[in-house]
């Protein structure tokens, strides 16, 4: 009789099965909202499971849409709350029976309009709420509240429901963090890691003994990394082996859409391609951080992105990459030892 209960109990307490939790759901929704902004995706298309003209998932119900909007609301992201609540409102018109009640949508919508400084619209929406749900516990009180606020702003009672200003829905300010999971692979963990490190040494002509362990990072949908330098600046804690002299970024998967690595100063975009590697020096030959290396990872739109970072440090590169005598000294290509520049070399970008 209790076989299924036991089974559920069993798998939910077994560490190797981990079901999505509330925070996974909210993480996914926040990722979705970021994608919407970055790639200017239309709410209506997204709700129908369409991304850039491609049908990628099944249509969302009004309730799904409402839940996304509610997560945005809980993040105090009123901009997206409004977009998604309006979409949910459209959706219930064609659902039979509707998967969410109009009054639930209207209440959130009104509160968000108020937060976005559109009191007249908040009042209009709350009037509608009161009309369809006269016994709603907060409708009447909220109407009073918006009217009082409008009165305090000098709006005459007869004007409160007229000349409703257009919706100026302002976007929230982005949070500075990135969204991805990482782990570190030490050479002692597997001989393949030791082999990779060896090859990176040949490839870059830099000593790997002082480098950090190989980092593996995974970005899910919406996963991204804000613009940053890999080297530390004066106001940040220093690394024990000197600063990060260079970076090797290995692409170990090929996401379907989005996910580019971009160098925002250099205006360079690199699309991840499985088995490719990107190499750059973070420091000038003087040891100063090279400000041209500012870079970011754009959000993954479709597919998933796996990369591996190798951060190579200054210490023990004294003979491999000596300091430059002039601040202007820099390599023209990887492993440049100062000989005349070859005419054709795949490593040199023609000017
Ligand atoms: O994933 C990328 O494209 C860039 C990653 C990166 O810049 C980093 O991990 O420091
Ligand atoms: Fe980086």
Tally helices (H) and strands (E) across the chain.
9, 13
CA-to-CA separations, 214 to 63, 200, 250, 272, 329, in angstroms, rounded: 43, 11, 10, 18, 29
Ordered per-residue pLDDT tens for the chain, 351 residues: 567 777 666 655 655 556 777 777 777 788 788 888 888 889 999 899 898 888 888 899 999 999 999 999 998 999 999 999 999 999 999 999 999 999 999 999 999 999 998 999 999 999 999 999 999 999 999 999 999 999 999 999 999 999 988 887 777 666 545 678 889 999 999 999 999 999 999 999 899 999 999 999 999 878 889 999 999 998 899 999 999 999 999 999 999 999 999 999 999 999 999 999 999 999 998 889 999 999 999 988 888 899 999 999 999 998 888 887 777 777 777 767 677 777 776 666 554
Q: What is the pLDDT of residue 351?
A: 43
Nearest CA to ligand 1 atom 2: 297
Atom nearest to 182 CA in ligand 1: 9
Q: Is 261 in the pocket of ligand 1 (CB under 6 A)?
A: yes
Q: What is the pLDDT of residue 137?
A: 95
Q: Is 126 in the pocket of ligand 1 (CB under 6 A)?
A: no
Atom nearest to 259 CA in ligand 1: 3
Q: What is the pLDDT of residue 84?
A: 96
What domains are there in the chain, each with its CATH number? 18-159 (1.25.40.10), 181-313 (2.60.120.620)
Contact 229, 296 (CB under 8 A): no
Q: Which two tokens stand for residue 261?
A: 């690595």
Contact 252, 274 (CB under 8 A): yes
CA of 248 to the centre of ligand 2 (A): 10
Q: Is 295 in the pocket of ligand 1 (CB under 6 A)?
A: yes
DSSP-derived 3-state class of residue 104 = helix
Out of 184, 270, 295, 310, give the residue to mutate to test ligand 1, the one with the largest number of ligand atoms within 8 Å of its CB.
295
Ligand at minimal distance from the CA of 261 is 1
DSSP-assigned beta bridge partners for residue 289: 283
Ligand at minimal distance from the CA of 216 is 1
DSSP-derived 3-state class of residue 197 = helix
CA of 217 to the centre of ligand 2 (A): 11
From 209, 222, 211, 229, select the one nearest 282 (Cα to Cα). Answer: 229
DSSP-assigned beta bridge partners for residue 270: 261
ipTM (interface predicted TM): 0.99
Please provide residue 110's backbone torsions phi and psi, each rounded to the nearest 5 degrees.
Answer: -60, -45
Out of 263, 307, 311, 312, give the residue to mutate to test ligand 1, the one with the largest number of ligand atoms within 8 Å of its CB.
307
Nearest CA to ligand 1 atom 9: 309
Q: Is 33 in the pocket of ligand 1 (CB under 6 A)?
A: no
CA of 39 to the centre of ligand 1 (A): 19
Q: Is 309 in the pocket of ligand 1 (CB under 6 A)?
A: yes
Atom nearest to 230 CA in ligand 1: 10
CA of 87 to the centre of ligand 1 (A): 35
Atom nearest to 272 CA in ligand 1: 3
């Amino acid at each position: 009789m209790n076989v299924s209960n036991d089974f559920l109990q069993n798998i939910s307490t077994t560490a190797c099965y981990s079901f999505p939790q509330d925070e996974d759901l909210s993480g996914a929704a926040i990722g979705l909202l970021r994608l919407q902004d970055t790639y200017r995706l239309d709410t209506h298309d997204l709700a129908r499971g369409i991304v850039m003209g491609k049908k990628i998932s099944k249509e969302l119900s009004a309730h799904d849409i409402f839940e996304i909007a509610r997560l945005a609301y809980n993040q105090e992201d009123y901009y997206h709350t409004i977009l998604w609540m309006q979409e949910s409102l459209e959706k219930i018109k064609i659902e039979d029976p509707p998967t969410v009640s109009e009054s639930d949508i209207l209440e959130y919508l009104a509160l968000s309009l108020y937060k976005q400084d559109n009191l007249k619209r908040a009042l209009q929406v709350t009037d509608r709420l009161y009309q369809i749900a006269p016994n709603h516990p907060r409708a009447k009180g909220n109407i009073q509240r918006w009217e009082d606020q409008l009165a305090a702003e000098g709006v005459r009672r007869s004007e409160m429901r007229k000349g409703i200003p257009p919706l100026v829905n302002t976007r929230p300010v982005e949070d500075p963090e990135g969204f991805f999971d990482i782990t570190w692979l030490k050479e002692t963990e597997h001989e393949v890691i030791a082999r990779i490190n060896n090859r990176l040494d040949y490839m870059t002509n830099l000593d790997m003994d002082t480098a950090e362990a190989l980092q593996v990072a995974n970005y899910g949908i919406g996963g991204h990394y804000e613009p940053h330098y890999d080297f530390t600046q004066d106001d940040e804690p220093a690394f024990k082996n000197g600063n990060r002299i260079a970076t090797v970024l290995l692409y170990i998967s090929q996401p379907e859409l989005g996910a580019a690595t971009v160098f925002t100063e250099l205006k360079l975009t690199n699309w991840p391609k499985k088995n490719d590697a990107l190499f750059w020096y973070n420091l000038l030959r003087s040891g100063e951080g090279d400000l041209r290396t500012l870079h970011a990872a754009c959000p993954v739109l479709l597919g998933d992105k796996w990369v591996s970072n190798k951060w190579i440090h200054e210490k023990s590169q004294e003979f491999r990459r000596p300091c430059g005598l002039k601040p202007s000294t820099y390599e023209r290509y990887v492993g440049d030892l100062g000989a005349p520049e070859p005419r054709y070399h795949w490593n040199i970008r023609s000017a």
